């Protein structure tokens, strides 16, 4: 199995007065894996990565925030892997 996701986010206003804007950004995520099913069990081995373009962006913007603290830091490029086992 494979999954590829691209999120394109445009610049958005951060105040009602439209005097501060969040930058646009592009997030790329990918995941690959192998799934095996047998009579009494199933397992899935997978690996992937988030923010593969290593974008700097806000994980969530606080609109009209006091002191112009609009941004919440986001994680940089990161990777993961795992094994999922189900026994029937």
Question: Per-residue confidence of the chain (88 residues) as pLDDT tens digits?
Answer: 999 999 999 999 999 999 999 999 999 999 999 999 999 999 999 999 999 999 999 888 888 888 888 888 899 999 999 999 999 8
Question: What pLDDT score does 37 carry?
Answer: 96
Q: Give the position of tokens 């993961």.
A: 80
Contact 53, 26 (CB under 8 A): yes
Question: What pLDDT score does 59 carry?
Answer: 86
Provide long-range contacts, Cβ within 8 A and 24+ apart, for 13-19.
Answer: 14/61, 14/62, 14/63, 14/64, 14/65, 14/70, 15/63, 15/64, 16/63, 16/64
Contact 22, 60 (CB under 8 A): no
Quick one: tokens of 65?
């925030």
The pTM (predicted TM-score) of the whole model is 0.79
């Amino acid at each position: 199995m494979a999954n590829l996701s691209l999120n394109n986010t445009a610049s958005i206003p951060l105040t009602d007065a439209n005097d501060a804007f969040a930058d646009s950004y592009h997030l790329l995520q990918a995941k690959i894996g192998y799934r095996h099913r047998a009579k009494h069990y199933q397992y899935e081995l997978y690996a992937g990565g988030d923010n593969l373009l290593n974008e700097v962006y806000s994980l969530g913007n606080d609109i009209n925030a006091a002191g112009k603290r609009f941004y919440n830091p986001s994680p940089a490029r990161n990777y993961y892997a795992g094994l999922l086992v189900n026994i029937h």
